[in-house]
Amino acid sequence: MSTLRTRTAPIRLGTRRSALAQAQSGHVAAALEKITGHAVELVPITSEGDTNRASLSEIGGQGIFATRLREALFAGECDFLVHSLKDLPTAIPDGLVIAATPRREDARDVAITRGGTPLHALRAGSRVGTGSPRRMAQVHRRAPHAEVVDIRGNVDSRLQRVASGELEAVILAAAGLSRLGSDSPLRREELGLAEWPTAPGQGSLAVETRTDAPADLLAALAALDDHDTRVAVTAERAVLEGLDAGCQAPMAAHAVVEGGDIRVRAVVYASDGGRRIGLDVTEPLNGEYIRRNGSGNGADAADGAPPMHAARAIGLSVAHRLLDQGAADLVSREHPSS
């Protein structure tokens, strides 16, 4: 591979073909162009998740949006990738590295309706669309008299199903709407994270490349990284990893860095929303948690663990506590973790 200093061709960014994927990749491309002074070219790649129209609850959990992109990266078809972090398996293949997690957008979900009726106030039998088992369980809890409809499709097609009256509401990620610049006349209800936590990594992007990429490319990508975002999503993804439940499990995890501490909220749901097991913990990121709980090696305990190490240990501990409280009865565990 040539270095950035010697190359004349654009830096190639591999991305899914969807409008949302290309919009969020475009934001990363523009930021990287400012850092490097080099043009960045989007390389659209079709993933299995874009062509397989089966329910995500049936085909999800094994990196269906990431596998083809990673094959293209290994094959030299592009120089780096941009993923929606919530779609990325927790196990990173040998030879790849998440070089950056840019600052997170709004992590909330939103309910989209025609008239602005809150989700909990929808009339009995109202049809609410989502393809996420986690959101399905949450809709069952928030609007138990509604009918949940398993849907696929891009953001525009989902909005159209509400506008046409086919559905009374759909649940979407606030970050996706923001990145697309959606100006739909439909009404939106922001769903607060305290009562409606979202998927690990929601609102975050993962910038991934090969471990043998040129050092100056790795350095340029690292400049896109937001420290607090990376710490938070490290904890969230560790909860998912510890549950060993897969990307499409009915679970949520959201973390926030507050000064020298990290607060992690995690919930596992029964698929019908009838039962939930949750935890809300705040722990220090300075290694005190690891020293107190005996995690990590002696050097970590003596010198104060790096925040990423502490965040991962805290996330795994939250997962184990959820399992101890019966979460294993609510999720289908799968291998490899994703």
Q: d(Cα 292, Cα 301) in Å, to the nearest integer?
A: 9
119-326-257 Cα angle (round to 5):
65
Q: d(Cα 165, Cα 323) in Å, to the nearest integer?
A: 41
Q: d(Cα 153, Cα 161) in Å, to the nearest integer?
A: 10
Strand 261-269 and strand 276-284: pairing?
antiparallel
Q: d(Cα 308, Cα 118) in Å, to the nearest integer?
A: 38
Catalytic annotation on 87? yes
* Cβ atoms of residues 290 and 302 within 8 Å: no
Beta bridge partners of 81: 14, 208
* Cβ atoms of residues 147 and 128 within 8 Å: yes
Q: d(Cα 336, Cα 246) in Å, to the nearest integer?
A: 8
Q: One of 50, 79, 87, 225 is an active-site residue; which one?
A: 87
Beta bridge partners of 96: 210
Instruction: Give the H/E segment covering residue 83.
Output: strand 80-84
Q: Determine the straight-line distance between the first and last CA of the chain, rounded to whole angstroms.
A: 30
* Cβ atoms of residues 11 and 41 within 8 Å: yes
* Cβ atoms of residues 263 and 239 within 8 Å: no
Residues belonging to the active site:
87
